[in-house]
Structure 1
Amino acid sequence: MKSPADRVIELYRSHARAWVARRGRHLTEKVWIDRFLQRLPDAPSVLDLGCGSGEPIGRYLLETGSEVVGVDGSQELIEIAQGRVPGATWITADMRALRLDMAFDGILAWNSTFHLTPEDQRGMFAVFERHAAPGAALIFTSGPRYGDALGEFEGEALYHSSLDEDEYRALLKQHGFAVVDHVVEDPDCGFLTVWLAQKDASFPLERP
């Protein structure tokens, strides 16, 4: 029998439409997405890892002038994204082994990598680095502290995990990213813990 950590993609495949209904189209994370976009050039390329149905984040990125490539392990969610948000490129793939041979101005992993085991999360920083153009911005969510947690989704256990803050900072530095902003359990964003970072120093830290 598979562990909850091994069943995450399976759950999002089996309950894709239930997830879409639960997620809704309200962009509760708009403040953070705007902070991310402010660090990108005009008409940026953005890689959305764990893009789900493409709404609301993928659609908002397109509406603000981004060229979007979305990746998700759930073929069912990708098919919904292709139908609802046809202006982007949607790819069914496991983010842990992603090799697109492309570099992006921005990389977003919103409420996605925290479904991975600690070891797989550590491996994601090489994926981020591999797909980051010089000066690329990176935004992702994590847990507030080290450990595993089980939520519930359609009556089944949904796995979450987190590294601790020091390890995230060390991994970002190791892979060439500097932390720009970090808030633990942001009360203005559903108490999510958010990281915003930027690759190397070849891009200005603040846009005018």
Structure 2
Amino acid sequence: MDKSNGYEHHAATFIRCRSKGLDGVGVASVQHWARSLPPNATVLDVGCGTGDPISKALIDEGLNIHGIDASTSMVQIFKQNFPGIPVACEAAEDSSFFNRQFDAIMAWGLMFLLPEKTQEVVIQKMANALRTGGKLLFTAPSQKMKWEDAITAKESRSLGAEKYKALLAASGLSLIEEFEDEGENHYYHAEKL
């Protein structure tokens, strides 16, 4: 089974698309969120890809980043882009990084690529890996829906805002806010109680 949900096979296409015209989408929102974190916070970027532009935005804000991505090709480029930054080529649901504690965790553009049960597991693992008061930020459409991913042609699925809110609450997280960015990505910002 391809734990990268087709992104290893389509890594070159993803990298080309993300670096041409879309490279700034989400950066301002992630930077705004990063500024709500303590100085030098340790942040886990789940589904980090090559690290550009989201991990880069966090690093530029002075945060200590760790990355997870299931695509070998993406992780290799991440290592080239950010030598010395800890990164693991692992599926989110299997990552050993969840055995640690973080000040914040983010998953930009990942959750809806995962099967429903895997999304539930990953939300619980992210919650468990947050320190008390830690922040979680992830993107997924607010509507419950399924669609074909533009790059991999595999099914993507949003569980919808009500389900995500229920999963966050069941995981000991309190939703702080929801918002959208310039690319119409919907964000869920939560804190561990």
Q: TM-score of the superposition, structure 2-length normalised?
A: 0.91
- Which moved further from structure 2: 129-138 or 19-28? 19-28
**Equivalent of residue 42 in structure 1, options 9, 18, 39:** 39
1:169-180 residue pairs with structure 2 within 5 A? Answer: 169-180=165-176
Instruction: Measure the CA separation in 2 of the matches of 1:108 and 1:27.
Output: 17
For 1:11, what is the secondary structure of its paired residue? coil
Q: For residue 140 of structure 1, report the CA deviation from its aligned partner.
A: 0.4
Superposed CA deviations along residues 117-175 of structure 1, whole A, max 9, x for unmatched, are 1121111121112211111110001123223211332xx51321011221111111111
User: Are 1:196 and 2:186 counterparts?
Assistant: no
Aligned to 2:7: 12
Larger Rg over CA atoms: 1
Residue 133 in 1 paired to residue 131 in 2? yes
Deviates more, 1:18-27 or 1:35-44: 18-27
Match in the other structure for 1:159: 155
Secondary structure of 2:7's aligned partner: helix
Counterpart Cα distance in 2 of 1:177 and 1:47: 17
Q: Is the 8 A contact 1:98 1:127 kept in 2?
A: no
What is the alpha-carbon distance in structure 1 between the residues aligned to residue 155 and residue 2 of structure 2? 8
Equivalent positions of 1:85-164 (< 5 A) are 85-100=82-97, 101-153=99-151, 156-164=152-160
Farther-moved stretch of structure 1 (44-53 vs 78-87): 78-87
What one-letter code is carried by the residue in structure 2 that aligns with 1:80? I
| Preserved CA contact (<8 Å) 1:8 1:159 | no
1:76 to 73, 84, 88: 73
1:56 corresponds to: 53
8 Å CA contact retained: 1:36, 1:137? no
CA contact (8 A) 2:140 2:186 kept: yes
- TM-score under structure 1 normalisation? 0.84
Q: Kindly report which structure 2 residues correspond to 1:20-31, keeping only aligned pairs within 5 A, or say none.
A: 20-24=15-19, 26-31=23-28
**What do the CA deviations read for 1:62-109 (whole angstroms, capped 9, x no partner)?**
121111100000011000110112242111001012232211111000
Could you list the runs of 5+ residues in structure 1 that have no partner in the other structure? 1-5, 201-208
Q: Which runs of 5+ in 2 are unaligned?
A: none
Partner Cα distance (1:189, 1:10) in 2: 25
Identical-residue share of aligned pairs (%): 25
Q: 1:119 to 1:141 in 2, by over 3 A?
A: same
Once the 2 structures are TM-superposed, how far is the Cα of residue 30 of structure 1 from its aligned partner? 2.6
Displacement after TM superposition at 1:35 (Å): 3.1
